[in-house]
Amino acid sequence: MGLTSNVYSLIFLPLVASLFCQIFSKRTSAFLVAVVTCLSLIIFEIKAFWDVLIYEKIVNDFELSILSLALEFRLDILGATFLLLFTFVKSVILFFYRNDIENSLSENEGNIFYSVFLLHLFGLVGIFTTNNLLNLFFFFEIYAFSFFATLSISKSAEFAKLSFRYFCLNAISSLLILFCVIVIYLTFHEVNFDKIAISISMIPQSDIWFIAAIFLIMAFAIVIKFFPFWLYFQKLKNTSLIATFLSIESLFIKTGVGIFVTLKVICFFFGNKLLFSKFDFAPILIFLAICLIFYSAIKLYNQKHLKMISAYICLNNLGFIFASIALQTLESLQAAFFYLINFTLVSLLIFIFATFLKRYFATSSIVKMWLVDKNNFFLVLPIKLLVFSIAAFPLTILFFANWYLAYASLNIGFEAFLLFGILVSNFVYISQAVRIISSFFGSQHTVPKDYTHVEIKNYRLYLVSFWILLFAIYGSVFVADLTNSISLKFASYLLSNTI
C-alpha cells in the first residue's frame, strides 16, 4: 500500500497545489507554492523511480470498478522516466519564467499563471501514469485546457489567432481519439491498457485490418495534437512571455508527451509484433524518420540563430527517436533513451540561453554570443561547456545515442541509410560547435558604443536555469555506468511488454 500511496501523492499533489494558488492574492506566494510543489514531486518521483527499478512496475490495488476507473494507474520504467524527466524540465521552466512574469503580468494574472501551470503539470503526471484509455483521454483534455488557458493571458490578437488554430487542431484530434476510445470499448468491452492488449493479441486474423485502421486513425490524431511544428516556428524569435511559453511547451513538453504516447501505443497497446511483423510499418516509419533527419540537418547547417538551432536539433533528435522505435532492437531502444535526454535537456539549454541573449542583447545570433562573455564569465560558461555535448564528444549523451543506433543499423538494407544520417547530422553538429567556439575565441571583437552592462539581479534566475540544466547534462556523464544500466532496463522492458 505504501508504493501506491506514494504514486497517488505525486498524481494529486499538483492539482491540490493549483487550488492553493487561487487562494493567495500575491504572485510571490503562488510562485513559492509552485516551487515547493515541483520540488516535492521530484522527491516523490525519485522514490517511485527507485521502486520501479526494483519491482519493475507499480499498479493500484483496487478492484472496485468505479474506484478503479477513477484511480487506475500503472507506473513502469517508461512512465517513471518521462515523469521524472519532464517534471524536472517543468521545474527549470518555472525558474526561467519568473522574471518574465514579474515584468509582463499583474499580480492577479501572475496568480492565475501559476495555478494554470500546476494544472498543466497535473495533466502531464496523469498522462504518464494512467493505465486507463478513458482516463488518458480526460488527461489529454486537461493538458490542452491548461495550455490554452495560459495562451489566453496574451492581449495580442495575433496570439489569439494562433491559439484558435491550436484549438481547432486539438478539437479535431480529440474527436478522433474519442472515436477510437468508443470503438475500442465497444469491441473489447475494456478500457484498461493491459486487458485491451491481451484482447488484441487474441483477435482473429480476419479482424486484423480493423485494428490497423484504428491504429492509423489514432496515429493521425496523435500527430496533429502533439507534433504541429508548422504552427509556431514563425514565433520562435519573438521575445514576449507568451511566445516563449508557446515555443518551449510546443518544442519540448508537447513533443515529449507525443513521444511517450507513441511508445505507449506501439509497445503496450497495439504491440510491435502486430505493427512491425504483420503489417511491416517499420520501413514506412524509418523512411519518414530519415526524411526528418536529413531535412533538419540541412536546415540546421545554415542556421546562425540559437533559437532556430535548438528547434532543428529537436527535429533531428525526433527523427532519430522514431527510427530507433521502428528498428525495435535492444540497442535501438537504448539509443531512443539517450536521444530523448539529449532532445530534452541539451536543446532546452540552447533555447533558454538564446532567449536570454535575445532579451538583453537584442540578438540570438551565434556571432554575437561574445557580448555575453563581456558581461559575465559565469553566465556564458554553461554554453561553452555545452559545446562538448553539441559536438557529440565521447561519453556525452549524444555520443551514446549515436553509438547504440549505429550498432542497431549495421544491416545490409534500408536501415543502413540511418548510418549516413548519423554521419551527416554529426558533421552539422560539429560545424555548429565550431561556430560557437569561434564566436568566443576568434578574432578580437569591438564592443558597440551602445553596449550596456546588464546587472546580475536582472538575470539571476536565467543563470540558475542554465546551471541546473548543465549539472543534469553532465551528471549523466559522470554516472555513465548507471545511465547505461537504466537505458538497458528501459529498452529491455519495452521489448518484453509487447504483444
Break the chain into its structural domains and give their ranges: 281-499
Query: Which pLDDT value is given to residue 234?
Result: 63
Task: Say what the pTM is.
Answer: 0.90
326-342 b/e with 16+ CB inside 10 Å = b?
bbbbbbbbbbbbbbbbb
Residues ≥6 apart with Cβ < 8 Å to 315:
229, 292, 295, 296, 299
Query: Which pLDDT value is given to residue 190?
Result: 81
- The low-confidence residues of the chain, meaning pLDDT below 70, are 1-5, 25, 61-71, 107-109, 153-160, 205-206, 230-243, 270-278, 375, 412, 442-458, 497-499
Q: How many alpha carbons lie under 13 Å from residue 19 in its C-beta half-sphere? A: 4
Query: Which pLDDT value is given to residue 67?
Result: 47
Query: Which pLDDT value is given to residue 367?
Result: 76
CA-nearest of 288, 422, 285, 396 to 341 is: 396
Residues ≥6 apart with Cβ < 8 Å to 313:
296, 300, 343, 346, 347, 350, 429
Neighbour count for residue 35 (Cβ, 10 Å): 15
Residue ranges in 2-106 assigned as alpha helix (H): 2-23, 27-55, 65-71, 77-104
